[in-house]
Structure 1
């Protein structure tokens, strides 16, 4: 089936908010004279784990830990980082190429809608996307496919007519479970070896033009999980 739409993850893919998140937590630990264990920082799902992170810091910092003050300081620091944060390298060119080809654009993110829309509006990119499907609009986060199914529903398209773009292994799992072909661009904190279920893996969006990516996808057979779903044997 002809590709009619592209569906992008937001955090870590369209915009590198993963680095600002890690940096803000690293700084918060250092303000308490401690070092963050970065090896276990990123979760294997798209949900919010900040409460667990604050609990870990409180246990390490001791009874003098002021969560409210720490949160305010961390958020102010991160907001400063976001003032100059734009789309990831190569994505502006991809979005322009998609428009030139008449492809529809959507976002499928586990983050809440105000977060996604706010950042895209700040950079002047919100109007590029016909559809936003966000984590506060579904009952489960990636790797659950709910947010991708919502994006497809709002586009009015079957999964075979769209391609997903992801930066995490659990994001790829969500796209695949929704029946989508998926291009992975692993973020700097994700192990590339975990992306074997993606249809195509790129080191960066700058590594290929969008037309080249879509041509390469067209010559590859669908993964077995999507073949099973197409025949009614996949997830409900």
Structure 2
């Protein structure tokens, strides 16, 4: 069956908030004269893991570490980075092509609703979505399929009518567990060979127009 609804992840796919996250943490470690270790920085599941990141920094800095100040400074720096953040290359074109094809669009993200809606609204993409499903609306995060099942329920469709787009292996696993086909657009911090469960793997959203993707998936 040819899909008539596209369901997108948000962070790292529609907007590259993964790079700004990493840069904000690098900046905060450098402020203490330290280099951020990258091993284990990106979790293999959705949701917020900043408590573990702050704990690692606290252990490296020692007793002088002030987490409240650290969080305030880091998030302020990330806000500056986000002032110029735009949708990833090719995403606006995909949204335009979807409209031309009469496809409905949705977002299924492990991030909170306020985060997802805030950035999509600023980018002018929020009102182009039929529904969203977010991490603070479900009990478990990806790779659990709960957020995709919520999106499907709000859309009122069977999984066969949808096509998911993800940038991480745990996102692909969540989509597949919900019964969806999935196109992977790996972010820069995940090895491409980890996306064997995806139906199609692209180097980037700008690499293929939607009609060509749908032809390959159908």
Aligned-CA RMSD value: 0.6
Moved over 4 A (4+): none
Q: Deviations over 1:144-166 (max 9, x none)?
A: 00000000000000000000000
Q: Give the SS at the match of 2:182.
A: strand
The equivalent residue for 1:24 is 24
The equivalent residue for 1:206 is 206
1:4 positional shift = 1.4
The equivalent residue for 1:129 is 129
Say whether 1:162 aligns with 2:162: yes
1:122 positional shift = 1.0
**TM-score, normalized by length of structure 1?**
0.91
Q: Provide structure 2 residue ranges, at least 5 long, that are not aligned to the other structure.
A: none
The equivalent residue for 1:225 is none
Provide the aligned length of Structure 1 versus Structure 2. Answer: 218
Q: Provide structure 1 residue ranges, at least 5 long, that are not aligned to the other structure.
A: 219-236
Q: Is the 8 A contact 2:5 2:161 kept in 1?
A: yes
Q: Deviations over 1:142-192 (max 9, x none)?
A: 000000000000000000000000000000000000000000000000110
**Distance in 1 of aligned mates of 2:135 and 2:57:** 26
The equivalent residue for 1:179 is 179
1:2 positional shift = 3.5
**Distance in 1 of aligned mates of 2:51 and 2:214:** 40
**TM-score, normalized by length of structure 2?**
0.99
Say whether 1:5 aligns with 2:2: no
Higher RCO by CA contacts (8 Å cutoff, separation 6 or greater): 2
